Amino acid sequence: MKIIDGKKIANDIKEEIAQEVAAIREAGGKIPHLAAIIVGHDGASETYVGHKEKACNQVGFNSTVFRFEDDVAEDTLLRRVHDLNEDPEIDGFIVQLPMPKHISEQKIIEAIDPKKDVDGFHPINLGRMVIGLPAYISATPAGIMELIKRYNIETLGKDVVVIGRSNIVGKPMSILLGQKANPGNATVTMCHSRTKNLKEVVLRADIVVAALGRAEFLTADMVKEGATVIDVGITRVKSDKTKSGWKLLGDVKFDEVAEKAEYITPVPGGVGPMTIVSLLQNTLKASKGEIYPK
């Protein structure tokens, strides 16, 4: 069994980005600038935005966070999105989800200029990805593809099972692994809460991507010997063994599945760090006009 060390790969990529930013600075070019909009005081959202800010600092990007209270009007947010779309200093921005109930997340996402949509949530970016055009790919699937690439995990002709069909993880992941590309060219089955005989389906998989958000759902009896297991899930559970009083659990029962898997990602330290790095990579691409020429 080999552990896929997402933390190490993420640090290597951050180092590569930092060197590129240093060279841009040296040449007097524009420093990439990522902005984030956050609404309310949800603990997990605050943590994610904090991690993203820290990562920007580490690689030398500029970053700005726009904070709004829970009762902010949708129009106010739409105006901020519009201003960021128009601001030449900002290369890309994200809107941290979830939003409060009175805000239409879809309306906000569709208001983002696809050229600055570094989270890859806009239908134009999703659509472009589906037909194989250059696009911002949402950070978690992009990070998983990078891990597969850097660990030289063969996907061609393999049976892949993705558990979860969300727009930000399960669906894009299924499409990317089935695409005519390397990594890709796999035979993909996308499972969800209505899938029948999930265990039988997963047992056939050479590669399993667990993205359903149920702590320790995937047990050893569901996994084929020698499979690659990618654990996307993050569930915060109370713990009296940590200083914070919380610990993070993945969707995979790590200890027992690790004994059967050839490759496995841990939680934390697997997919999570890669998600943030993909956002940095997308921001760098935005600042260089790599996806949509400036």
Based on its alpha-carbon atoms, the radius of gyration of the chain, rounded to whole angstroms, reads 19
Nearest distance, CB of residue 197 and ligand NAD, angstroms: 11
Nearest distance, CB of residue 191 and ligand NAD, angstroms: 5
**Catalytic one among 14, 52, 224, 285?**
52
- Closer CB to ligand NAD, 192 or 288, in the complex: 192
- Closer CB to ligand NAD, 45 or 235, in the complex: 235
Q: Does residue 266 have a cis peptide bond before it, meaning omega lies within 30 degrees of 0?
A: no
Q: Which residues bind ligand NAD (CB under 6 A)?
A: 140, 163-166, 168-170, 191-193, 195, 198, 211-214, 232-235, 271-272, 275
CB 30 within 8 A of CB 287: yes
Instruction: Give the angle subtended at the CA of 184 by the CAs of 182 and 189, to the nearest 5°.
Output: 170
Nearest distance, CB of residue 261 and ligand NAD, angstroms: 18
- Closer CB to ligand NAD, 103 or 234, in the complex: 234
Q: Residue 240 catalytic?
A: no
Question: How many whole angstroms separate alpha carbon 276 and alpha carbon 10?
Answer: 8
CA dihedral defined by 260, 269, 34, 286, rounded to 10 degrees? Answer: -30
**Catalytic one among 5, 91, 117, 119?**
119
- Closer CB to ligand NAD, 85 or 189, in the complex: 189
* Cβ-based burial of 233 (10 A; exposed 0-12, middle 13-18, buried ≥19): buried
What distances in angstroms separate CA 75 from CA 71, 80, 81, 99, 206, one per listed residue? 12, 9, 10, 14, 47
Question: How many whole angstroms separate alpha carbon 68 and alpha carbon 90?
Answer: 19
Q: Residue 96 catalytic?
A: yes
**Catalytic one among 5, 96, 179, 224?**
96
Q: Residue 119 catalytic?
A: yes
- Closer CB to ligand NAD, 152 or 197, in the complex: 197
Q: Is the dihedral of CA 226, 179, 290, 35 positive or negative?
A: negative
User: Which strands form 92-95's sheet, in the order they lie side by side?
Assistant: 62-68, 33-39, 92-95
Nearest distance, CB of residue 94 and ligand NAD, angstroms: 13
How many CB atoms neighbour CB 243 within 10 A? 6
Nearest distance, CB of residue 211 and ligand NAD, angstroms: 4
Q: What residues act catalytically?
A: 52, 96, 119
